[in-house]
């Protein structure tokens, strides 16, 4: 990536290669109220999930798509969670 982030490329089931954060691996649980997206190493794109702390309660593990943490390569940040919040705030400001 031009932003210099460590990226893992995962081929999704639709055959598309998706750049994900190398350090963005998360345990996830499917939830109707979830608003997170992860891509598993098997190439499954899981939407509407929540992140959980331990494997015990997780439905699986996946990687966070890089576009979530880096909406703009120029404003890349090291901490995914922070970047996400910053992106949301930026969105609200521009509304
Ligand atoms: Zn980036």
Q: What is the DSSP letter of 2?
A: T
pLDDT tens-digit series, residues 9-62: 999 999 999 999 999 999 999 999 999 999 999 999 999 999 999 999 999 999
Instruction: Render 17-83 in DSSP notation, one character per residue.
Output: EEEEEEEEEEEEEE-TT--EEEE-TTS-EEEEEEEESSGGG-SEEEEEEHHHH-SSGGG--S-HHHH
Identify the pLDDT of residue 76: 46
Give the DSSP letter of residue 14.
T
CA 78 to ligand 1 center in whole angstroms: 9
The residue ranking higher by pLDDT, 4 or 2, is 4
Instruction: Tell me the C-alpha distance between 80 and 37, whole Å.
Output: 13
CA of 30 to the centre of ligand 1 (A): 26
Sequence spans of domains, the chain: 7-94
- Residue 6 alpha carbon to ligand 1 centre in Å: 9
Higher pLDDT, 58 or 91: 58
Which pLDDT does position 63 carry in this prediction?
A: 97
């Amino acid at each position: 990536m031009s932003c210099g982030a460590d990226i893992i490329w995962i081929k999704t089931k639709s055959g598309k290669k998706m750049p994900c954060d190398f350090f963005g691996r998360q345990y996830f649980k499917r939830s109707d109220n979830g608003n997170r997206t992860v891509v598993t190493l098997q190439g499954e794109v899981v939407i509407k999930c929540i992140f959980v702390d331990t494997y015990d309660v997780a439905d699986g593990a996946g990687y966070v798509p890089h576009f979530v943490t880096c909406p703009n390569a120029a404003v890349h940040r090291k901490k995914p969670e922070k970047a996400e919040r910053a992106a949301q705030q930026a969105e609200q400001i521009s509304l």
